[in-house]
Amino acid sequence: MKLCVPIPCFFNTLPFETAVEKTAALGFEYVEIYDWRQLDFAAAKDALARTGVTLLSMCTTEFRLTDPAFRQSWLDGLRESCAAAGALGVKKLITQVGPDTGAPRAAQRRSIIDGLRAGAELLALTGVTVMIEPLNVRVDHPGYYLTASAEAFEIVRAVGSPYVKVVFDIYHQQISEGNILPNITENLDCIAHLHAAGHPGRHELQFGENDYRNIFSAVDRAGYTGACGLEYSPLLDPEESLAAAKQLFGARG
């Protein structure tokens, strides 16, 4: 497993290129962003090439998969995002599934599956993986549809494409359901990326109730070879915070 730095969490006021340089100077090799439309592609590619840093993931531009009326908008956004990913060498896109519309949950779930299936051919052609994300509704995302990791895994398996996976956010799932280690280690076939933050507060890993050294160690032993994005709001100076995260990661068993 490797650590990944979400640029907006730590260096949101800096140009992407400067943030990449700072990340590289701290010894990190992987970053992620959210809105790719804010990038100067030529400058971004140059910074990544100069530093050897890899941009692992970005977000799609549209998120409403729960409502069939928005499917074409989601597919159009997916097409644009896949093109941007190809230009930047990115292999993963995060998409949320949208709000609970109030329709029967079975109908909303069917809409999500159908939308992802409709995008699967494009994903296969481009080699880009799209990752759906369960979120918590208790603290951060009231009204969101997908909260349970089990349902996310079921959706991925129903779609049946190697290019449709889950980003498992440990912070969100600690709030929503707990049972973190079994939920991750027993479903690695569905997980393409991890996010981590301390709960409560969504701050540094060492300030929360989870023992991340144990989590990282167990996930390593289970055979996970992907990345974990440090998706939190730092209380410490950003560079100090990232150094502490790197030290914690290195101390895993």
80 is catalytic: no
Instruction: Choose the catalytic residue: 32, 231, 239, 240.
Output: 231
231 is catalytic: yes
Nearest to 249 by CA among 208, 209, 220, 207: 220
Q: Is the peptide bond before 68 cis (omega within 30 degrees of 0)?
A: no
* CA distances to 95, 156, 159, 221 from 165, in Å: 10, 6, 9, 21
Instruction: Choose the catalytic residue: 32, 62, 133, 204.
Output: 133
Contacts of 162 (CB under 8 A, 6+ apart): 129
Could you list the active site residues? 133, 231
